[in-house]
Structure 1
């Protein structure tokens, strides 16, 4: 816990608009992917289980779409950033794995790797100084 508090203090002392733009960009990207996945549920279920899609696969596809949709909004606003990225993390790891084991799409693989790296960064340092989390913490 002391390590997280120390990283938060460092992040708040060294925050910049660039980090906030990066966080907001990640949130918008996740939100956009959530909208795309919601509109392409059949293709998403085929990616998850190409041989035998069942009810579990459909539930997982809906979880991915809604998690990206809601998580993207929360990350962009800087509200519950670490929690929402913790829900995104298994999805992003799965996206990287699917692109390596299945038919490799270079653009999708690049997007997944970049999103995973940026999500890991914000999972560690938090939402930063210009966020709803920081504003709520300072006003309580």
Structure 2
């Protein structure tokens, strides 16, 4: 077993049920951020072109904003449902690292910069759910349990012998 499998196994075995509530809230926050990206793309474009750290062109900025919005929308839904949670979280982590270091840190490291603190908390929660997975109240868990029930089904149920229709002793006498 390699290191990643060991971490996943440990996370599956040590998952508190209250973390599922935190996972759902995290998914809704990420989904809401994706909706904000879609609802005001012009403000996002203006901010990126004003603080153009990497020298992106206008078309690349537009593509980047749409990729981030789609990733937040799809990832937020997947995290909320608990469906392929580790994959959805891994896709979000680079975006959140960019949000912490390139977007929110430029506004200053103070208590008043709430976007920075929200981004840091969301990033830390993403790392936590990358390690521990989706939990018992998730679509992943439901699908795993459903699959194991199909595998554990005894063979006698699937291969029943037909019931023979014997006549009762009373009908033979008539």
For normalisation by structure 1, the TM-score amounts to: 0.88
Q: Which structure has the greater CA radius of gyration?
A: 2
Equivalence for 2:153:
none
Larger RCO of the pair (alpha carbons < 8 Å, separation 6+): 1
Question: Pick from 145, 153, 156: which aligns with 1:138?
Answer: 145
State whether structure 2 residue 74 is matched by structure 1 residue 70: yes
Q: Secondary structure at the match of 2:50?
A: coil
Partner Cα distance (1:137, 1:4) in 2:
19
State whether structure 2 residue 45 is matched by structure 1 residue 41: no
Partner Cα distance (2:129, 2:96) in 1:
14
Question: Comparing both structures, which one devotes a greater share of its residues to helix?
Answer: 1
Q: Report the alpha carbon displacement of residue 11 of structure 1 after superposing the two structures with TM.
A: 3.0
What is the number of residues matched between the two proteins?
A: 139
State whether structure 2 residue 85 is matched by structure 1 residue 90: no
Asked if the contact 2:17/2:136 (under 8 Å) is kept, the reply is no
Equivalence for 1:116:
123
Q: Report the alpha carbon displacement of residue 82 of structure 1 after superposing the two structures with TM.
A: 1.1
Asked if the contact 2:11/2:131 (under 8 Å) is kept, the reply is no
Question: Pick from 44, 49, 58: which aligns with 1:54?
Answer: 58
Asked if the contact 2:12/2:133 (under 8 Å) is kept, the reply is no
* Structure 1 unaligned residues grouped into runs of 5+: none
Partner Cα distance (1:137, 1:8) in 2:
15
- Alignment CA distance shift 1:93-1:51 (3 Å): closer
Deviates more, 1:1-10 or 1:31-40: 1-10
Question: Pick from 76, 98, 104: which aligns with 1:99?
Answer: 104
Deviates more, 1:56-65 or 1:126-135: 126-135
Partner Cα distance (1:74, 1:48) in 2:
27
Q: Report the alpha carbon displacement of residue 51 of structure 1 after superposing the two structures with TM.
A: 5.6
Q: Give per-residue Cα distances to partners, 1:56-94, cap 9 Å, x unaligned.
A: 100111111111111101001000111111111111011
